């Protein structure tokens, strides 16, 4: 198949060698007609290779009698041109030169070798087609010889990297192409799923019904993975492309009355259509239209390269979109979303402290009973920190056998102890530049504590069995439900480490002290488990709700979550009843302890909650003096 197009200008682009494989893959070496260009490992070679098979002066490429020539300069391992060993060869565009594992290809922009200045010439279809798409490995800019456009493509790549979603990717590309090619219309059409293309975005939008292309041409572009540039479409009308189905579906009249997408009546003098691929399947095409004057060769090349970048950008954006959707789905299914539910005075205060502590850089110690949400608080601190884009790794020190804690945290070398069959990169190294959450830090061995202390002091550490020290940058957040101060007194926990860890301390209050939060959490978990277990209409009876609100929750939020999870599964329609909760000791639980000090602590917390932390008012409610209230608040370590 041949298309004709007229050339409006003599092109002055240089030929160049592009490296298709080998150590220099992706590089391009412009060729100079005026002087021989040497290829080899030698420092004075214009085309310097690092391929070890290459000789210092391996070959030379030069321009003579209107052609490029390659001569092997007595290399040790020989030179192949188009896979044939050769001493001398006349080179044509797209010919390949192989030296060891390096493959170079000669790219001669159209018109470069010819001195013919006539303004009209016949160009074979192959001249204007792009190479077949070979996925993301293909160098998107391999065909672009214009330095200005290389910068455009560089800018475009940077913008595409920043784009969050497919629409942004498309807008960025259209904007750049309209500006650089002076196209009257730039459009992107996607396969509607039935082989027909539907415009996804056209600029300016009111030109959408003007950008039509013959179906046969689209089929060819899609099938062959080729871009085409059609100049003066009126000339091509009815030549090779007899089918004249509408591309955009805006005009579905049949037979002879069909208007060709590149027909006489179209206002365009130039059309470029480039395929867009996503994961090796065609998604659609990028279309550029111009009334006058014609596109240039470099604009055609720019469009091809931009379409390839678009393909990569879209693949990534679609992948990101689907990952986001997966994440949402998983978060929906999994109750442990990161949302810290609670609006009681104590929780509000805790959230404020989390924000402040997050911005600082010291270690954090989170204290609280089991199941209160310490890990969730740790996540919130990490999210509020400057490391939020880096990972937070969680290690439960109590879940690792004592004898392995050290090697798990700090790593070990293969063979350093029985069972060390492989090298292990410790958690600290894995969390480098991020955050490490050490849950149940009180369970750390004394040796582990000593190493942790050194890391917190900024020293490097030695993985087990290693000879070289490792230095890491990790923010440590530790949590415990133990009384670490008591551990220090018992010499089970190093005092110096205790102070290092607790640069910032966050106390997570037990659920029984959070007032209305119980109601919020009930709603939160109900919503979640109803969705997860596919029972969106399941209600909860008043009696069941009251029982939940009155229960003392010794197992804290985790217990509440588990109770609701199983109630949603076990309850018969239409509603969860009190018996479904499995809290048969609910009445007793209100008096779950008879210790006076515990009840005093609870009452003081309750009074502070009601008064929004106002001690004199709380003292009034409790019927005690202010001084007693202050003393007891300090004694019981109550967070106001
Ligand atoms: N404020 C909250 N909002 C929503 N969910 C919460 C909240 N607090 C805790 N949870 C949920 O309760 C469960 C227990 O929380 P988490 O594991 O953070 O507690 P913990 O104090 O670290 O427990 P442990 O002491 O056993 O390590 C988790 O499923 C968590 O998502």
Tell which atom from ligand 1 comes closest to the C-alpha of 347: 1
CB-CB contact of 144 with 301 (8 Å): yes
pLDDT at 248: 32
Give residue 557 CA to ligand 1 midpoint distance, Å. 6
Global pTM reads 0.52
Q: How far is CA 396 from CA 59, 409, 444, 496, in A?
A: 62, 11, 10, 22
Q: Identify the pLDDT of residue 333.
A: 61
* pLDDT at res. 629: 92
Q: In whole angstroms, give the CA distance from residue 276 to residue 527.
A: 42
Of 6-15, 120-129, 378-387, 405-414, the range with the lowest mean pLDDT is: 120-129
Expressed in angstroms and rounded, the spacing between residue 585 Cα and the centre of ligand 1 is 23
In angstroms, what is the span from residue 377 Cα to ligand 1's centroid?
Answer: 8
What distance in Å separates the CA atoms of residue 207 and residue 136, rounded to the nearest whole number?
Answer: 32
Whether ligand 1 lies within 6 angstroms of the CB of 344 is answered as no
Cα 171 to Cα 6: distance, rounded to the nearest angstrom: 31
Helix (H) or strand (E) holding 384: helix 374-384
Mean pLDDT, to the nearest integer, of 447-472? 86
Return the best residue to mutate from 332, 336, 376 for the ligand 1 pocket (most ligand atoms within 8 A of CB). 376
What percentage of the chain has pLDDT greater than the value 90?
29
Cβ–ligand 1 distance for 376 under 6 Å, the answer yes
For ligand 1, atom 9, name the residue with the nearest CA: 373
In this predicted structure, what is the pLDDT of residue 379?
Answer: 94
**Could you tell me the CA-to-CA distances from 335 to 497, 528, 559, 561, 571 in Å, in that order?**
34, 6, 13, 8, 19
Residue located via tokens 């504590």:
449
Q: Is the distance from the beta carbon of residue 275 to the nearest atom of ligand 1 less than 6 Å?
A: no
- Give distance in angstroms: CA of 373 to centre of ligand 1: 3
Check if 439 has its Cβ closer than 6 Å to any atom of ligand 1: yes
Q: Are 149 and 176 in contact (CB under 8 A)?
A: no
Cα 114 to Cα 15: distance, rounded to the nearest angstrom = 12
Which tens digit of pLDDT belongs to each residue from 257-301? 233 344 456 678 888 999 888 766 778 889 999 887 778 888 888
pLDDT averaged over every residue in the chain: 80
Tell me which of 232 and 397 has the higher pLDDT. Answer: 397
> Could you tell me the two tokens for 152?
């455009």
Structure-token match 């056209």, residue found: 202
Q: Point out the ligand 1 atom lying closest to the alpha carbon of residue 517.
A: 1
The full 3-state SS of 268-315, as one line of letters, equals CCEEEEEEEEECCEEEEEEEEEECCCCCCHHHHHHHHHHHHHHHHHHH
Query: Which ligand 1 atom is at minimum distance from the Cα of 560?
Result: 12
Helix (H) or strand (E) run with residue 567 in it: helix 556-570
> In this structure, what token pair is assigned to residue 154?
């560089």
Helix (H, G, I), strand (E, B) or coil at 393: strand
d(C-alpha 441, C-alpha 456), whole Å: 14
Ligand 1: which of 392, 532, 558, 566 to mutate, judged by most atoms within 8 Å of the beta carbon? 558
Q: What pLDDT was estimated at residue 81?
A: 92
Q: Which fold has domain 16-107?
A: Tumour Suppressor Smad4 (2.60.200)
The whole-number pLDDT of residue 5 equals: 31
Q: Are strands 281-290 and 270-278 parallel, antiparallel or unpaired?
A: antiparallel
Is any ligand 1 atom within 6 A of the Cβ of residue 371?
yes
Q: What is the pLDDT at residue 42?
A: 86
Strands 59-64 and 47-48: unpaired
509 lines ligand 1 (CB under 6 A): no
Distance 369 CA to ligand 1 centre (A): 10
C-alpha span between 204 and 201 (Å, rounded): 9
Q: Which CATH architecture has domain 596-636?
A: Orthogonal Bundle (1.10)
Residue 29, both tokens? 């070496």
- Cβ contact 291:268 at 8 Å: yes
Cβ neighbors of 88 (< 8 A, separation 6 or more) are 69, 70, 71, 72
The domain defined by 512-576 folds into Helicase, Ruva Protein; domain 3 (1.10.8)
208 has pLDDT over 70:
yes
Contact 177, 317 (CB under 8 A): no
- How sure is the predictor about 415, in pLDDT bands with cuts at 50, 70 and 90? confident
Q: How far apart (Å, rounded) are the C-alpha atoms in residues 191 and 383?
A: 40
Q: Per-residue pLDDT tens for 523-541?
A: 999 999 998 888 999 999 9
What integer pLDDT is reported at residue 3 of this predicted model? 34
**Max mean pLDDT range (192-196, 230-234, 421-425, 532-536):** 532-536
What is the C-alpha separation between 102 and 39, in angstroms, rounded? Answer: 11
Non-local (6+) Cβ contacts of 7 within 8 A are: 111, 119, 120, 121
Any alpha helices (H) in 138-165, and if so which ranges? Answer: 147-162
Q: Where does 140-235+265-319 sit in CATH, by number?
A: 3.30.450.40
User: Are residues 18 and 104 in contact, defined by beta-carbon separation less than 8 angstroms?
Assistant: yes
ipTM exceeding the 0.90 mark: yes
Between CA 620 and CA 313 the distance in angstroms is 65
Which H helix or E strand runs over 346? helix 345-359
For a pocket test of ligand 1, which of 339, 346, 365, 371 has the largest count of ligand atoms closer than 8 A to its C-beta?
371
* Three-class DSSP category at 636: coil
CA of 322 to the centre of ligand 1 (A): 28
CA-nearest residue for atom 12, ligand 1, is 558
CATH H superfamily, domain 345-509:
P-loop containing nucleotide triphosphate hydrolases (3.40.50.300)
Residue 340, ligand 1, Cβ within 6 A: yes
Closest protein CA for atom 7 of ligand 1: 373
The pair of structure tokens assigned to 199 is: 């415009």
- Predicted local confidence at residue 72, as pLDDT: 93
Distant-in-sequence, close-in-space partners of 98: CB < 8 Å, separation ≥ 6: 79, 80, 81, 83, 104
Q: State whether the beta carbon of 481 lies less than 6 angstroms from ligand 1.
A: yes
Q: What is the C-alpha separation between 386 and 568, in angstroms, rounded?
A: 39
Any ligand 1 atom below 6 A from CB of 557:
yes
Task: Please report, for the chain, the start and end positions of each structural domain, with discontinuous segments joined by +.
Answer: 16-107, 140-235+265-319, 345-509, 512-576, 596-636
In SS3 terms, 452-486 reads as HHHHHCCCCECCECCCCCECCCCEEEEEECCCHHH
Under 8 Å CB-to-CB from 141, ≥6 apart: which residues? 150, 153, 305
């Amino acid at each position: 198949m041949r298309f004709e197009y007229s050339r409006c200008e003599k092109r002055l682009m240089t030929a160049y060698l592009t490296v298709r494989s080998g150590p220099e893959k992706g590089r391009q070496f412009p060729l100079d007609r005026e002087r021989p260009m040497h290829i080899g490992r030698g420092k004075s070679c214009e085309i310097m290779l690092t391929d070890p098979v290459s000789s210092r002066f391996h070959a030379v490429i030069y321009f003579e009698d209107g052609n490029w020539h390659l001569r092997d300069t007595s290399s040790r391992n020989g030179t192949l041109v188009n896979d044939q060993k050769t001493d001398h060869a006349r080179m044509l565009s797209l010919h390949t030169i192989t030296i060891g594992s390096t493959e170079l290809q000669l790219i001669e922009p159209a018109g470069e070798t010819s001195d013919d200045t006539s303004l009209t010439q016949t160009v074979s279809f192959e001249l204007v087609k792009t190479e077949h798409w070979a996925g993301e490995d293909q160098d998107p800019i391999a065909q672009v010889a214009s330095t200005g456009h290389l910068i455009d493509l560089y800018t475009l790549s940077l913008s595409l990297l920043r784009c969050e979603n497919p629409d942004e990717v498309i807008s960025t590309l259209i904007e750049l192409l309209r500006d650089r090619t002076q196209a009257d219309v730039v459009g992107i059409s996607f396969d509607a799923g039935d082989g027909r293309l539907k415009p996804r975005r056209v600029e300016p939008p009111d030109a959408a019904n003007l950008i039509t292309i013959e179906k046969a041409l689209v089929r060819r572009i899609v099938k062959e993975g080729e871009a085409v540039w059609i100049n003066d479409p009126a000339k091509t009308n009815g030549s090779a492309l007899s089918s004249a189905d509408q591309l955009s579906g805006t005009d579905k009249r049949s037979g002879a009355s069909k208007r060709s997408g590149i027909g006489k009546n179209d206002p365009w003098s130039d059309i470029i259509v480039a395929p867009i691929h996503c994961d090796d399947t065609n998604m659609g095409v990028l279309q550029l239209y111009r009334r006058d004057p014609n596109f240039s060769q470099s604009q055609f090349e720019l469009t091809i390269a931009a379409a390839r970048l678009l393909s990569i950008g879209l693949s990534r954006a679609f992948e990101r979109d689907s990952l986001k959707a997966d994440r949402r789905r998983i978060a929906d299914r999994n109750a442990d979303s990161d949302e810290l539910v609670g609006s009681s005075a104590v929780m509000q205060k805790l959230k404020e402290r989390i924000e402040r502590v997050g911005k600082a850089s010291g270690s954090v110690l989170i204290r609280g009973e089991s199941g209160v949400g310490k890990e969730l608080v740790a996540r919130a601190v990490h999210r509020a920190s400057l490391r939020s884009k880096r990972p937070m790794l969680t290690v439960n020190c109590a879940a690792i056998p004592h004898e392995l804690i050290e090697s798990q945290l700090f790593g070990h070398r293969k063979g350093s102890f029985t069972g060390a069959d492989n090298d292990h990169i410790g958690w600290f190294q894995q969390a480098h530049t991020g955050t490490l959450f050490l849950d149940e830090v009180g369970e750390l061995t004394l040796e582990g504590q000593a190493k942790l202390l050194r890391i917190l002091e900024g020293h490097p550490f030695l993985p087990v069995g290693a000879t070289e020290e490792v230095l890491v940058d990790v923010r440590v957040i530790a949590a415990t439900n133990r009384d670490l101060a008591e551990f220090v007194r018992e010499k089970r926990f190093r005092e110096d480490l205790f102070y290092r860890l607790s640069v910032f301390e966050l106390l997570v209050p037990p659920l029984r002290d959070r007032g209305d939060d119980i109601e919020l959490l009930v709603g939160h978990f109900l919503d979640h488990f109803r969705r997860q277990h596919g029972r969106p209409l399941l209600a909860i009876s008043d009696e069941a709700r009251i029982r939940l609100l009155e229960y003392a929750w010794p197992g804290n939020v985790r217990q509440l979550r588990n109770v609701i999870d199983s109630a949603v599964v076990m309850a018969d329609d239409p509603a969860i009843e009190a018996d479904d909760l499995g809290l048969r000791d609910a009445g007793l639980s209100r008096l779950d302890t008879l210790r006076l000090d515990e009840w005093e602590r609870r009452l003081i917390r309750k009074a502070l909650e009601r008064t929004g932390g106002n001690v004199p008012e709380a003292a009034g409610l409790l019927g005690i003096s202010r001084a007693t209230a202050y003393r007891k608040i300090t004694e019981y370590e109550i967070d106001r």
